[in-house]
Structure 1
Amino acid sequence: MDFHVSLAGRGDLSARIYRELLDAIVDGRLRPGERLPPTRELAQRLDVSRTTVTDAYDRLTAEGFLVGKVGAGTFVSEQPVKRAERRAAHGVARPRPIWDTLPQPTPLPWLEFDFRLGTPDGQLFPLETWRRLVAREMRAKVVHNADYTDPSGHEGLRAAIARYVGVSRSVHAGADDVVVTQGAQQALDITARVLLEPGDCVATEEPGYVPARRLFSSHGARVVGVPVDDEGLDVSALPDDARLVYTTPSHQFPLGTPMSLARRTALLAWAEQHDAVVVEDDYDSEYRFSDRPLQPVQSIDRGGRVVYVGSFSKTLLPMLRIGFLVAPASLLPALRTAKQLTDWHGDVINQAALATFLDEGLLARHIRKATREYARRHELIVETLEKDFPWLDLVPSAAGLHLCVRSEADVEPVVAAARAKQVGVQALADFCAGPVQHGLVLGYGAISLDNIREGLRRVRTN
């Protein structure tokens, strides 16, 4: 292994080499069983005598950190070594204050009955078809086209997305109007980079999508929550100085109610009057179980004020990290530049595979199949809630991967007791930045049909 050894610092050369190697072993950078360079080779690389290196190796061997094997070399001991705590990096560098207020990401624990939100069923993913498409792109492109590519995304995918959202959602777009992103979250990020100055006001739904709220705050925006009622975002409550309005009109997160056509029209009129931009996150709208979806706000926008954001995380898999935005021509040059400055471009192989997946109608077929399965789960949860949870008020919802129920009482004890019984549910209060609203939000993408009754039974018996 080409292991770097620094000779900076005090002490004789052998002691410095000893300390460097010891720190690497204790920190775990040199793992048990790993082979060290021969003493002669390391001595030549460091321009020291072989005896200097040998003395350091001998000392570590005597202390049990290294093991010499005749004819094979010197190795890190396989015996368990108590790892020292990684030394904290004490320094004067500090992040902006906002980063001290935002929670660090933590992996969600595995639970036997998991009603978590925003997670599709990986078992429904057409893995064999996807593997075939990716393999085809690997053979065709990796060797012959290894350069950096267009930050807007794979040209074929942008065209396929424009056709797909045009047919399925009546979005007005051509390939040049689309920017492919690493999920919807990056679409929001580059939009914020382009539009917001520190201190600008951003209006978000209340309750609403927490990652979006935190992202806008991280850009220095002043985020204001706007109430949501049975018709969606209350346009009359929007702050006059809002520069950007973030909304999920097709399937409001987390309540699940769609925004009425009257509210959509009013929102566009408000944006025109106040010179604001509407970011329309078409969250979770692909899976619909009954009513026809209303047209997106983007499709009735005549002033070029809507940035339409979508993602394939719910329809396929979150790990693919493919999303997109459709933006007015006036914003596209800046958005492309922001995308390039952020990560240049995404995974071209997966993007090309997705283009074929869309063009061959495979996504539409997958959504039809998945919708039938999710509809059964949705129906069973609704049936069970109405029968066994009379104290909860179901919020009507006919789409998506989750539903919401309201409660007059605090449900935090219910959530905690359910978690102790291996059931994961979330409180509606988790999505509130203003006055707390009580209730539960139940996802059904990560839980099988067979586990729903038992999971809800455990919630009821808390």
Structure 2
Amino acid sequence: MDLIISLDGAGGTTVRVYRAIRQAIADGRLPAGHRLPATRVLAADLGVARNSVATAYERLVAEGHLVARTGSGTFVAAAPAAPAPRLAPADPLRPRAAWTYTPLPTSAGVLAPRYDFRTGIPDARLFSFESWRRLVAAELRLRAHDPGGYADPFGHPALRAAIARYLGYSRSLRADAEDVLVTNGAQHALDLIGRVLLRPGDVVAVEEPGYPPARRLFASLGARVVGVPVDSEGLVVDALPRAARVVYTTPSHQFPLGRTMGVDRRRALLDWAAGRRVAVVEDDYDTEFRFSARPLEPLYGLDTAGRVLYVGTFSKTMVPSVRTGFVLAPAALRPALAAARQLGDGFGQIAVQAALARFIDEGQLARHVRRAVKAYAQRQARIVTALSAHRGLEVVPSAAGLHVTALAPGSARVVAAAAARGVAVEDLGAYGSDSTGFVFGFGAIDPALLDEGLAVFSEVLRRET
């Protein structure tokens, strides 16, 4: 790799080369042990005499910044001076207030708690990484001699067709490949939808309690986000703001309560949206994992007015690192969504998308889901049994997904005390509601530690209440 240094400033050529290399070492741009280019090569790159570079090297060696090794080359000394601190500008550029970064509790480098009941994390131990590796490697080999170029922002054609077929038999949805736009997960799909539909100041109705990343995303686009209560039947349609432009909902497995929106409520929501030309974003994030009862037909399948955008993801079904989701949208919105995708990141990882298409079509996804459902059902049952034994807890019925919610007073105090004992459970109040309680995820927890973790939580609960 070429060494790029600036020769600006006063002094002769030798002095300027010496000063530039010394500054690069001080800044940390040339780390300890790094091999510098030969004097002939660097002189040609800089357009200066070789003798100027050689003299600069000799001075830097004499001062201990560089080490010359006969037959090997010239290297940055093993213990150069500490890089000079960068001074913050007096008037730094600042982002809009909506953009604040908070690392996720599942971020790389974050030490997992011993008893991990955090939500939204599937069990990677259940996933067949060996099969997945084989498929991705095969697709990469097929593209070894690809001349290059840009791909379709709608997504790989084979994956769009595979998703349509999969939704047909898993969710009873009538969809064709043309209906599917592939995304980098559900959050990416929500971002595209927001960019296409929302103007600054538009009202977005979201469930409360609800999914915080969706709320924050719509707010970051300049929308006015309004919380709408949820009851035993799901989103309360009568409480929707009349000015809403978009309604975001999780009808098949409400997050975080876990309830299912009834058929009558679904039809009421669709009638409300049709009469006001409102878009309904249906986030169906984890209902492949069903433990009892047949799933109700998604809003997308009941919609006859072209109001519903159906968002799905493989982050929960498989593993988050697959980083693939999708959106089914009314025909009139598809070109705009593709344009937003094209402007934002162009297109996705073609080899991964092609491998996922084969993973679905070979039946491996269906087999993985069946295996995971069996494991998750056992964990859910153990959690429900343990929580139901506490008189002060009201376990919310849930027939699907990766978490269980229990209503109880004083949850914030208990959550903090449990964390001190190594039990990571989430506070329902953190999801934007007056309700208090606990949300137990069961994808991340080691099954061998599940009962022990529940026992520790029970001990904390009895002590704190």
TM-score category (smaller protein): over 0.9
| CA positional deviation for 1:35 | 0.2
Q: 1:94 to 1:136 in 2, by over 3 A?
A: same
Report if the CA contact (8 A) 1:36-1:76 is conserved: yes
Structure 1 match to 2:198: 196
State the distance in 2 between where 1:351 and 1:191 align.
21
Q: For residue 440 of structure 1, what is the aligned residue in structure 2?
A: 438
Aligned equivalents of 1:75 and 1:374: distance in 2? 55
How many angstroms apart in 1 are the aligned matches of 2:251 and 2:210? 11
CA distance in 2, matches of 1:124, 1:353: 19
**Aligned residue runs from structure 1 range 17-416, under 5 A:** 17-79=17-79, 82-88=82-88, 91=91, 93-99=93-99, 102-106=100-104, 107=107, 108-144=110-146, 146-387=148-389, 389-409=390-410, 411-416=411-416
Contact 2:26 2:83 in 1 (8 A): yes
> Structure 2: 5+ residue runs without aligned partners?
461-465
Contact 2:205 2:227 in 1 (8 A): yes
SS in 2 for 1:331: helix
Question: 2 CA distance for matches of 1:254 and 1:13?
Answer: 66
What's the CA shift for 1:135? 2.4
Specify whether residues 84 and 125 from structure 1 end up closer, same or farther in structure 2 by C-alpha distance, changes over 3 A only: farther
> Does the CA-based 8 Å contact 1:313-1:323 persist in structure 2?
yes
Q: How far apart are the structure 1 equivalents of 2:95 and 2:41?
A: 42
Q: CA deviation at 1:376?
A: 1.0
8 Å CA contact retained: 2:25, 2:80: no
**Partners in 1 of 2:357 and 2:120 — Cα distance?**
23
Name the SS for the 2:7 alignment partner.
coil
SS state at 1:316 partner? coil
- Count residues with an aligned counterpart: 456
Runs (5+) with no aligned partner, structure 1: none
- Alignment correspondent of 2:463: none
Choose 416-425 or 68-77, whichever is displaced more: 416-425
Same amino acid, percent of matched pairs:
54
Q: CA offset at residue 32 of structure 1?
A: 2.3
Q: Secondary structure at the match of 1:227?
A: strand
**Which of 449, 453, 457 does residue 451 from structure 2 map onto?**
453
- State the secondary structure of the residue aligned to 1:149: coil
Evaluate the alpha carbon distance shift between residue 142 and residue 328 of structure 1 in structure 2; reply closer, same or farther with a 3 A threshold: farther
Whether the 8 Å CA contact 1:203–1:223 is kept in 2: the answer is yes
Tell whether the 8 Å contact from 1:151 to 1:336 is kept in structure 2 after alignment.
yes
How well do the aligned residues superpose, as a CA RMSD in angstroms? 2.0
Conserved? CA contact 2:26–2:80, under 8 Å: no
Deviating more after overlay: 179-188 vs 137-146: 137-146
- The separation in 2 between residues aligned to 1:216 and 1:11, in whole angstroms, is 55
Change (3 A) 1:460 1:325: same
Counterpart of 1:70 in structure 2: which amino acid?
T
2: CA distance, partners of 1:296 / 1:90: 54
TM-aligned CA distance change 1:325 to 1:46, over 3 Å? same
Question: Alpha carbons of 1:461 and 1:60: their partners in 2 closer, same or farther (altered >3 Å)?
Answer: farther
Compute the displacement of 1:44 (Å). Answer: 2.8
Which is further off, 136-145 or 187-196?
Answer: 136-145
How far apart, in 2, do the equivalents of 1:78 and 1:421 lie? 44
| Aligned-partner residue type, residue 405 of structure 1 | A
- Are residues 458 and 52 of structure 1, via their aligned partners in 2, closer, same or farther at CA, if it must alter by over 3 Å? farther
The residue type equivalent to 1:418 in the other structure is A
- Following superposition, the deviation at residue 442 of structure 1 comes to 1.2
